[in-house]
Amino acid sequence: MPVDSVWPIAGAEGVARAFEDAAGRLETVDGELTFDLSGVRKVDVAGLRAMSALAAKAADGKVKIALKGVNVDVYKALKLVGLTTAFLFPV
Amino acid sequence: MADHAPLSEDRIAYLEGLVSQARTAAAVFSQYTQDDVDRIVKPMVLAGLEQAQYLASLAIEETRLGVLEDKAIKNMVATEFVYNYVKDKRTVGVINEFPERGILEIAEPIGVIFSVLPVTNPTSTALFKCIMAIKTRNTAIFGPHPRAAKCCAEAVRIMYETAVKNGAPEGVFTCLDTPTIEDNRYLMHHKDVRLIDATGGPGAVKAAYSSGKPAMGVGAGNTPVYLEKSADVDMAVVDIITSKTFDNGTICASEQTVVIDDGIYDATLEKFAELGAHICNPEEAAILSQTVIDPETGFMRPIAVGQAAATIAQYIGLKVKPGTKLLIAPIAGVGRGHPLSVEKLFPVLAVYRARSREEAFKTCVDVNHLGGIGHTAVVFSSNEEVIRKFGEVMNAGRIIVNSPGSIGALGGVYNDMVPTFSFGCGTGGGNSTMDNVNIYHYLNVKRVARRTQAHMWFRVPNQIYFNMNAIENIRQFPSRSTMIITNPPLERLGHVDTVRRYLPPDTAVHVLVIPDAEPEAKVVREGVEALNAYKVDQIIALGGGSVIDAAKIMKLQYEAPSADLEELAAPFLDIRKRVVQYPTEKVHHARLIAAATTSGTGSEVTPFAVLIDKEAGRKITLADYSLTPDVAIVDPQFVMTMPKGLTADTGIDCLVHALEAGVSIHSSPYTEANAMQAIRLTFRYLPTAYAQPDNVEARSMMHNAACIAALAFSNASVGVNHALAHAFGARFGVPHGRANALMLPHVIAYNASVPSKFMPSPNQRAYVAHKKYALIADLLGLGGETVEEKVNHLIAAVEALLDRLDVPRSIADLGIAREEFQQALPGLAKVAFDDPSWRSNPRMPLATELVELFERAWHGRRAGGQ
């Protein structure tokens, strides 16, 4: 997987799928992994769990995970489960 | 709940899993809209209604408490009635708007709630709390009573599956499978549990409050009922039986002791018996009290809770008629010696014969305080006075009138209280709320407060007459008895005769000559006596600030003799919110006409008056718009003979009034217009009035300027210049205008620079003092390009004006020794800081800055060097 590749995600359902997929291939990633959540209005339980699992897997810091286009409602949901420190939020 | 063993690792993992799941669900739920939520609530309510009887049967089967039909009704109340209350309520986003106050209320969910469920009302409480949680976007972990674990789990399951099917996040509810005290303790202390809602016994409630978390614990009651002689006894008896037998008395708001007025006691018991109650004789009552109440603890025995009256009778060997609904035992008092006076969650009712209303109230208070503080009390009466007094003396969150206690307290059935299954008992009951717990206890309500523009005002006398011979206008005011108040020099100048000439011929005229000094309390007292003696209906104050101030206070005390001047002088920050109000009820009415004889204080139009109380050794400053004269006369004929020094001092006072009002934080377009005009007139005419005392135009214009400046500062107040001048003038005996002059250039420079501390000022959107000074410089045609240049030009112009008036330009010039000044300096700063004048200054002066300003005034001029 190339550095700085951006994974666009559409809809709440797509979040879990994308993050689970990324978790399965995390070892192949070098550098930073970016997800574009600008198409996501809200995140569901499965999505949050997948994000949490990926964050745990990337906790060693070898791969930085960046979330682009996160709306403030989703950001607050991440804050409520303590996940905002696990990701980068590029402006 | 007997398990005190430490939690196993598996159990901890289980509990952590529940919390994690609930926390994730809460995060997801936080994104939901009101429509999302409302789409979930309605099907939950319908599912609860559909399963009401099924859940009631589960509860009966598991707990062996209560009555199937009643439990089914409770389940329906918990769903249908609660829905009826919540359905149109906003609980997401903006929930209330108060545009007139600029306030928005916005809901913020709490997050994970740990909710304890009771054995007495298990399924209804579970249904109720599930609906509340969803409506408010919260998630809940339920900890049921171990003897109601299965029925609660089933109620929660039905609610959960319906909620998720209709869009709620997974994990929104969970219910402990085999609940223990240790589980509860673990969850109550868990960092991710945000609120504990404990509906249950005293142990659970105490544990909740001991956890250190926000908690709502609602607990035991002991409901007294007063059956007063004016009551509808037939209705009362039916209501009490209905309530006390409802679900076999398991609702903690149900009646416990009925206190009955002597005159209706026998008839009431007959009615109870007629409708299916068994009235115990003394022997039966003794057996009952020894069996259903534990003599060791003094509390009810759990075995009796929720059992039918006939079952209890059979258990203790009482012979009662078949179908007996209720066991009634007369008691002779309340307390440990009268076991049946405590809470009894079963159909056993104590009754007490009261010989008087007083005795009845006291007995109800005793019952209320015997384990039922804050909970519920009931009164049956048609006497409003009795009902109100009962409400005052009972410490109960629910005081139910002429209706059943238990069903009445639930709300929404017999009254318009909020439907609930959790009764807050207030601090008396060790609870954080006294309300019927409802959706608003499941929300954090945030308030968005917009900046409001405070109402402002421009209050001035009704009429102002100005220019030469304006005094003639007094002839239009009818009066039977007029008092002219003046001082000796003015009387000698013949001004009193001038005034007398223009009064209507049928007016009885009296003259009160007071000393030429700030008014003293004794002078005011004598003046009020004179006003009373002549029953005056009009006062003409002919003089400078002292005479007019004296007249204002005399009028106040003449019209309202009970006015306490010391109380009226109490400090205030905002005149509209002041604690002490001036009297509005008056025994006399007198018109106050103020004819000014100096051109400075503007007292003829101001709402202020100062009184010296020599006996007490203090100065009393009064401020209220009711002190403002009704009519002001600004007639220059009275100032043509002012000495030069007085012309200078009062003229400077006028300029400082205008400059300070102009930059005051309370200034408005109305006051600014007056301030600017007064400044313009003063710069133009004061030097002439000073140099050519006979110049009528200059005198006239300065007289107008003083009045116009006073119109401004009466409504915008003054500033730090006055605070400094008051302190310095009082300490060194320097006339007010002269003391003002010493401070003025330095204060302008000070206010025009960036403040070290801003004054809170909702009416001003920016710091504008320097720009206002620049505007004044423009108005005076002083030139300059930048704001800074214009401010400097204004300071130079002020200094030039002061030079022309021959006033001392530094404290040193006054001949005060440097050492004496330095010794006085800390005290001066303290007095100045205590002076209320600076509270409208654009800069909040620090104590060190006041010292610095005094130091600058010591050294003198700013512009053009020393």
List pLDDT tens digits, range B15-54: 999 999 999 999 999 999 999 999 999 999 999 999 999 9
Are B169 and A45 inside 8 Å of each other by CB?
A: yes
In a domain, A1, yes or no: no
B774 pLDDT more than 70: yes
Adjacent-strand bridge partners of A68: A36
In a domain, A38, yes or no: yes
Position B334 confidence tier, pLDDT thresholds 50, 70, 90: very high
Position B805 confidence tier, pLDDT thresholds 50, 70, 90: very high
Q: What distance in Å separates the CA atoms of residue B523 and residue B590, rounded to the nearest whole number?
A: 19
- Which candidate in B20, B24, B164 is best for mutational testing of the A interface (most A CBs within 10 A)? B24
H/E stretch holding B613: strand B608-613
pLDDT at position B841, please? 95
In a domain, A66, yes or no: yes
Structural domain range at position A66: 6-86
User: Using CB atoms, which residue from B30, B170, B171 is nearest to A77?
Assistant: B30
The answer to whether A19 touches A51, Cβ cutoff 8 Å, is yes
In a domain, A70, yes or no: yes
Residues in chain B: 866
pLDDT 10s per residue in chain A (91 long)? 444 467 778 777 899 999 999 999 998 888 899 999 999 999 999 999 999 999 999 998 889 999 999 999 999 999 999 999 999 999 8
ipTM of the complex: 0.87
Q: Which 3 state secondary structure label does DSSP give B212?
A: coil
Are A80 and B31 inside 8 Å of each other by CB?
A: no
What are the residue numbers of the active site of B? 252
Which residues, in sequence order, are CB contacts of B604 under 8 Å at separation 6+? B461, B541, B548, B594, B595, B596, B629, B632, B633, B634, B707, B710
In a domain, A59, yes or no: yes
Are B27 and A74 inside 8 Å of each other by CB?
A: no
Interface of B with A in 593-652 (CB under 8 A): none
CATH number at residue A10: 3.30.750.24
Are A45 and B30 inside 8 Å of each other by CB?
A: no
Q: What distance in Å separates the CA atoms of residue B355 and residue B332, rounded to the nearest whole number?
A: 12
Q: What distance in Å separates the CA atoms of residue B427 and residue B721, rounded to the nearest whole number?
A: 52
Position B516 confidence tier, pLDDT thresholds 50, 70, 90: confident
pLDDT at position B18, please? 97
Query: With the CA atoms of B679, B685, B688 and B692 taken in that order, what torsion angle do they form, in degrees rounded to the nearest 10?
Result: -120
Cα nearest neighbour of B30 on chain A: A77
pLDDT at position B291, please? 95
Counted domains in chain A: 1
Which residues, in sequence order, are CB contacts of B53 under 8 Å at separation 6+? B68, B72, B75
In a domain, A91, yes or no: no
**CB of B12 less than 8 A from some CB of A:** no
**CB of A64 less than 8 A from some CB of B:** no
**pLDDT over 70 for what percent of chain B?**
99
Position B866 confidence tier, pLDDT thresholds 50, 70, 90: very low
In a domain, A53, yes or no: yes
Q: Which domains does chain B show, CATH number per domain? A: 9-218 (3.40.605.10), 223-415 (3.40.309.10), 463-637 (3.40.50.1970), 644-859 (1.20.1090.10)
- CA-based nearest residue to B659, from B759, B784, B746, B754: B746
Minimal Cα–Cα distance from B32 to chain A, Å?
8
Per-residue pLDDT reduced to its tens digit, B202-235: 788 888 988 888 998 877 899 999 999 999 999 9
In a domain, A43, yes or no: yes
Are A80 and B111 inside 8 Å of each other by CB?
A: yes
Minimal Cα–Cα distance from A71 to chain B, Å?
11
- CA-based nearest residue to B553, from B602, B609, B476, B488: B609
User: Using CB atoms, which residue from A41, A45, A52 is nearest to B28?
Assistant: A45
Minimal Cα–Cα distance from A45 to chain B, Å?
6
**CB of B473 less than 8 A from some CB of A:** no
**CB of A13 less than 8 A from some CB of B:** no
